[in-house]
Chain A
Amino acid sequence: MTQRIIGASLCLSAALATLGSTAFAEPLTVSNWDGYMAADAIDNFNEATGNEAELVLHATNEEIMGKLIASGGEGYDVVFVSSPFAEVLNKLGLAEELDHSKLPNLSNLYTEATELPHDPGNTFSVPYAWGTTGLCYRSDLVSEPTSWNDLLKPSDDVSGKTTMLATDRWLLAAGQLALGYSVNETDADKMAEVRDLLIDAKGTLLAYDDTTFYAKLVSGEAELVQAWDGWCNYGIAENAEIKYTVPKEGSDLWVDTMVIMKASENKDAAYAFVDYILDADNHRWAAENILYKVPNQAAMEGLDASLIETFPNMGMKPADMMEYEQLRDVGEAQRDYSRVVSEIKAAN
């Protein structure tokens, strides 16, 4: 009896071990936001290069960062993260120092995109998409907002029908911009002002929402939301009454980047993947599918003109975007940011 049980346990452990070891022969693993690549991008890449890349999804920058830090960067080969998070990956030594000779298509990028303040010269990150953060609204239900205060201090008929982005940096950016501060402001007094403003704003919100705000606009659950320009386009695609605007106080310049992980065991395939995306046609295909601006000059010049007509923010020029400040990693001050956000979310 006892022997048999031990035998059975051994069999099970052996099976488990096999299961564990199969995990070591992972295909190229790419992590991106849901819907942030053309649906066929991975399949096309696999077909074109004979690789076996696999896409996994993360909902937020923070989520993928948490996983990367927990695993020491193992398990992923290419990750899509916003620039301040790419900076952190670099500072932690988790990002691969890019060998430009393996990325010939880098030359397709706009000059502006190769000199971004977070990573001049693209040493550890390749910009994938960029744009502004502004207000997305139902033009048939609300009048055109012009200021961040239209969101933060909404009129009575809009109150309860607004959403704000839930992730720390963009949530704070709305307050920082409304008060005329830098989106990387770390001064304690100024941040206290931002906090108070955002706590007041919270009372008028429907929800904090990073993922379904455009659907809420389409359904009419919300009428005015803080949104990334490209994500607003998803709403515009379903309802032409939805419009996007950058408030007069300005926006941040957000840049989502591709980072190759230093711990990757598929580096050649990882480079091939990044270069594949940077190909003029592929990057254009991405832009047309996800409705975000891409920092690829060759791709944007080939963009279908009718797209820009339907989604005016797709036509925004790099030079104009460069006027906005990029979100940067704020180092130790990130702890204060987290605290301020906790204070806002804990407030009644």
Chain B
Amino acid sequence: MADRNTFRLMLLILGLVFAFLYLPISVLVGLSFNEGGLPTAWTGFSVKWYGELLANKDILRAAGNTLIVAIFSTLLSTILGSLLAVGVEIRRRNGKWLETMIFAPMIIPDIVLAIALLSFFSLLGVKMGLHTIIVSHVVFNLAFVSAVVRARLKSFDWSIVEASNDLGATTATTMRRVVLPVLMPAILAGALLAFTLSVDEFIIAFFTAGAGRSSITLPMQIFSMIRFGVTPEINALATVVMAVSVVALALSQRLNRGGLPGQ
């Protein structure tokens, strides 16, 4: 639409911004395959740092814990979040308070939610562990799931529900046969998003984790490794973690062409 120079300027801006966004993480990925492991010199391609990862019991255990947290919190938040979305959209006239409450978990600073939950669990005398991380993750995850599902419901044609009811189907049948199939891509996309968020979440997990190795998640493990300095093992671990998020997110995006929450 505009003249060629403007277009070139736009390309330049895009190039610079993308370079800024991708160079640092590309460096990590690159270094993770560097035999010597140091950023000072390229000594040859090697996957030995990935081998080290697989040999590290603590990392494997943390990865296992992360999976448990992510799977359970995803299941719970997908159920709760989807139901919430359907309920909210059927009801339509929702007060400001309700909307705020559903929106809040997505924007409340992590640290505030984290310390609130820590104080809450600790005053109630709840023994903390993976289960406390899971229920805490559900708090923000269900909000994200419901946002994704609601976006889908906005374009949902409610008249088919009425048609189905008019044809004599029970509410349950209508839900299962009519509503659910339409919503499924969005529900799955929301679930994948929740999974990604849960796998990557650090601050809330850090505060609501219990004692002992049994509740150390991967991000907590990464944090403690980073504090002890730069090692090639972290580069490899970082690469794996990023790859998991990217794949989950790409899948989520494919399933649900509606876009990401926040959009």
Contact = CB atoms under 8 A, between A and B. Distances in A.
Contacts of B83: 5
B211 A74 contact: yes
Interface stretch (B94-102, B160-168, B171-179, B189-197): B171-179
A211 B211 contact: no
Given A23-B214, A29-B211, A54-B213, A15 B72 contact: yes
Given A23-B214, A212-B228, A8 B79 contact: yes
Given A1-B176, A9-B79, A34-B224, A23 B216 contact: no
Contact of B79 (A5, A35, A54, A74): A5
B176 A71 contact: no
A75 B79 contact: no
Q: Which of B72, B171, B210, B212 has the most CB of A within 10 A?
A: B212
Interface residues of B, number: 31
Contacts of B63: none
Contact of A20 (B129, B211, B216, B227): B129
A30 to B, nearest CB: 9
A72 B123 CA distance: 10
Contact of A16 (B134, B210, B228): B134
A133 B13 CA distance: 52
Interface string B115-143: 00010001001011111001100000000
B67 interface: no
Interface residues of A, number: 35
B67 to A, nearest CB: 13
B204 to A, nearest CB: 15
B239 interface: no
Given A1-B172, A16-B131, A211-B229, A31 B211 contact: yes
Interface of A: 1-2, 5, 8-9, 12, 15-17, 19-20, 22-24, 26-27, 29, 31, 34-35, 54-57, 59, 67, 70-72, 74-76, 211-212, 215
23 contacts: A5-B79, A5-B83, A12-B79, A15-B72, A16-B72, A16-B134, A19-B72, A19-B130, A20-B129, A29-B212, A31-B211, A55-B213, A56-B213, A70-B122, A71-B122, A71-B127, A72-B125, A75-B211, A75-B212, A76-B212, A211-B227, A212-B228, A212-B229
Name the 4 nearest CB pairs between A and B, nearest first. A75-B211, A23-B129, A1-B172, A20-B131
